[in-house]
A and B are shown apart, each in its own frame.
Chain A
Amino acid sequence: MNGDVSLPPVLRNDSAALRGRIEDFLYLEADLLDDWKIEEWFALFAEGATYEVPPTGTDEHDPATSLFYIADDYVRLRERVVRLTKKEAHSEFPRSQQRHMISNVRITGVTDGVADVTCNFVTYRAKRGVVDTYYGKHLYRIDCTSEPFRIKSKRSVLAMDMLYPGKLTIIV
């Protein structure tokens, strides 16, 4: 699978090594989000990257034809981050506390040095005595040719039949 010639030589033909690097990268991403280092988090995205959260309880997968919760192109994602740095993003002022848990990391394909990665997630958000739980599966496309890696797309598919926490103000 990862005999892909675009990959750095040390990762070529070594699934465990590639998965290890990708897991490290995902843990870094989770850590930045946990610590509200939101601008550093945005720097993990390649130019032109997208970030999406499709509707819950359906298999609708195209933000051009059905209503997503989030369908950010690179500019909207950048502006989402800018917004979250402001005190006037009232839903995150004072800021909530978060913990991002990741497991079941799998690489489902590698093309031109870009890995398709899936993993399960559970994200907790705590604010004013209320704990929100978000869970589901992340679908990533990660460019493994750059150093550090860069996210080309991230889609967070919630495994919830409706959005019980109400808000999607944090990055799950």
Chain B
Amino acid sequence: MDTILTTPQMVVEDRGRHLFRVARRAFTDEAVLEAERRAIFDRCWLYLGHSSEIANNCDFLTRSVGGREIIFNRDRGGAVHAFLNTCPHRGAMVVREKKGNALSFRCFYHGWSFNVNGRFASRFDEGNYGKEHYGGGCADLAQVPRLESYRDFWFVNFDRNAVPLADYLAGAKEYIDLVADQNEAGMEVVGSGQQYIINANWKLLAENSIDAFHGFPVHSTYFDYLKTLGSLRMESAGSEFSASGMHDLGNGHAVIEYASPWGRPIARWVPSMGEDKRPVIAALREGLIKRFGEQRGTRMSEFSRNMLIFPNLVINDIMAITIRTFMPAAPNKMTVSAWALGSRGEDHDLRKLRLFNFLEFLGPGGFATPDDQEALENCQRGYQNLREVGWNDISKGMPRNGPPMNDDEEQMRCFWRQWRDRIGAVS
């Protein structure tokens, strides 16, 4: 990549004057997106899926990750794989279904077949192919260079030399734990989730997903709704623990944590859940406190957390838990996948409550997410004025004495510093 990307700089930080600015060109320029593909999506750990989505041996699903087509599956012995979904013969995508369970994969184009561990499994008549096709691995499905998991969250990396996932996740592991520990029997993705398009640059959603500043201006209709239902509970936790704030988790990851205004199926009761659910939720809370102590148990029950794992994974543990990932299709267009995560073996009514909590706020039909989409798309439109008005301001909270607040913009500055360093590193 040539120096056009870094000269003039696209991320400008002036700590002395408390100014942090990002060039709007970073959201609109095809050359920037190409640089991101090489410097970020080819090198960072990218979320692929959750163990529960391929719960049984021989389960598979297909997914686009980092601009590649991937098969995410379990083989006959239960080992997890990620294959590049392209036939080693002439390139066709071998698996065309979204998901399923199969003992082998067969490319429909010329019939090359593969075991679910990726090994070439066709037996053609003698004279068609040499021995190497069967023994040498040249006809096997290609594995994604790196595949690693943390607490059932599976990630891929297309850079063979990447640091181990655990090192990459850095401080984010602690916050994944706060989600994964919510149920002793583990967590699971519920249903097939939501897939949609936003006509905006992918980084706008990275910012938005951990932005508490926009909450009340953009989502007043959602809070009105909670108020009408008696679901808005703004008082503090009744605990000594006070966690509202923001944490730099390293490597561009960041989280905001705050007292919840809403109910949480695990385990914060609000009146709209019904009196009959009150003891059920109290018992869940007691269970967490018993397992993790008063402070951590209360924190897991009461507080909400929005976390961004650089570059494009959001785990928001709010009125429900959403796993959200998004990929650029163009500078002004992204595809979004969002899933609901719940406790395995969850009580039927609580599961329903969790799903309803999710869709009331989150997703294209919710009372909040569409207004985020509108904001992002409006920003993207506004960037058409970038020749005259070329910079975004991300300075909120810079002069603050003491730790950053959750509605400051320090978490976005963490993202942008990482982005700047990675884009700069390949220039």
Interface residues of chain A, those whose CB is within 8 Å of chain B, are: 53, 55-58, 60, 63-71, 75-76, 79-80, 82-83, 86, 88-91, 128, 130, 162-169
Residues of B near A56 (CB, < 8 A) are 195
Category for how many chain B residues contact A = 35 or more
Given A57-B192, A64-B355, A91-B373, the answer on whether A83 and B364 have CB atoms closer than 8 Å is: no
Residues of B near A64 (CB, < 8 A) are 348, 351-352, 355
Partner of B364 from A65, A76, A79, A168 at Cβ < 8 Å: A168
**B363 on interface, CB distance cutoff 8 Å:** yes
Partner of B196 from A128, A130, A162 at Cβ < 8 Å: A162
User: Contact between B371 and A89 (Cβ–Cβ < 8 Å)?
Assistant: yes
Given A91-B370, A162-B196, A166-B199, the answer on whether A71 and B355 have CB atoms closer than 8 Å is: yes
**How many Å from the CB of A165 to the closest CB on chain B?**
7
In the assembled complex, the Cα of A90 lies from the Cα of B217 at a distance in Å of 10
17 new A-B contacts, CB < 8 A, other than A69-B364, A79-B228, A83-B367, are A56-B195, A58-B192, A60-B191, A66-B192, A68-B359, A68-B365, A69-B194, A69-B359, A69-B365, A70-B365, A82-B224, A83-B221, A83-B224, A162-B335, A167-B196, A167-B370, A168-B364
User: Contact between A65 and B191 (Cβ–Cβ < 8 Å)?
Assistant: yes
**B198 on interface, CB distance cutoff 8 Å:** yes
User: Contact between A63 and B355 (Cβ–Cβ < 8 Å)?
Assistant: yes
**How many Å from the CB of B176 to the closest CB on chain A?**
21
User: Contact between B191 and A166 (Cβ–Cβ < 8 Å)?
Assistant: no
Given A63-B355, A86-B221, the answer on whether A164 and B197 have CB atoms closer than 8 Å is: yes
In the assembled complex, the Cα of A88 lies from the Cα of B222 at a distance in Å of 10
1/0 contact string of B346-365 vs chain A (CB within 8 Å): 00100110011011100111
User: Contact between B365 and A53 (Cβ–Cβ < 8 Å)?
Assistant: yes
Of residues 133 through 170 on chain B, the ones whose CB sits less than 8 Å from some CB of chain A are: none
**How many Å from the CB of A140 to the closest CB on chain B?**
18
User: Contact between B198 and A166 (Cβ–Cβ < 8 Å)?
Assistant: yes
User: Contact between A80 and B373 (Cβ–Cβ < 8 Å)?
Assistant: no
In the assembled complex, the Cα of A83 lies from the Cα of B195 at a distance in Å of 24
Residues of B near A165 (CB, < 8 A) are 196-197
User: Contact between A68 and B355 (Cβ–Cβ < 8 Å)?
Assistant: yes
Residues of B near A67 (CB, < 8 A) are 190-194, 339-340, 355, 358-359, 363
A-B contact pairs, 22 of them (CB 8 A): A53-B365, A55-B192, A57-B192, A58-B191, A65-B190, A65-B351, A68-B355, A69-B194, A69-B363, A71-B356, A79-B225, A79-B367, A82-B228, A89-B371, A90-B218, A130-B199, A162-B196, A163-B196, A166-B197, A167-B373, A168-B364, A169-B365
**B19 on interface, CB distance cutoff 8 Å:** no
**B79 on interface, CB distance cutoff 8 Å:** no
User: Contact between B364 and A167 (Cβ–Cβ < 8 Å)?
Assistant: yes
In the assembled complex, the Cα of A118 lies from the Cα of B6 at a distance in Å of 57
User: Contact between B98 and A57 (Cβ–Cβ < 8 Å)?
Assistant: yes
Partner of B360 from A53, A76, A91 at Cβ < 8 Å: A76
**B220 on interface, CB distance cutoff 8 Å:** yes
Which 9 pairs from chain A and chain B are nearest by CB?
A: A66-B191, A168-B365, A70-B365, A69-B365, A91-B370, A162-B195, A163-B196, A64-B352, A91-B374
1/0 contact string of B79-99 vs chain A (CB within 8 Å): 000000000000000000010
User: Contact between B374 and A90 (Cβ–Cβ < 8 Å)?
Assistant: yes
**How many Å from the CB of B231 to the closest CB on chain A?**
11
In the assembled complex, the Cα of A60 lies from the Cα of B194 at a distance in Å of 12
Given A64-B351, A166-B198, the answer on whether A83 and B192 have CB atoms closer than 8 Å is: no
Which of A55, A64, A67, A70 has most B Cβ within 10 Å? A67
**How many Å from the CB of A169 to the closest CB on chain B?**
5
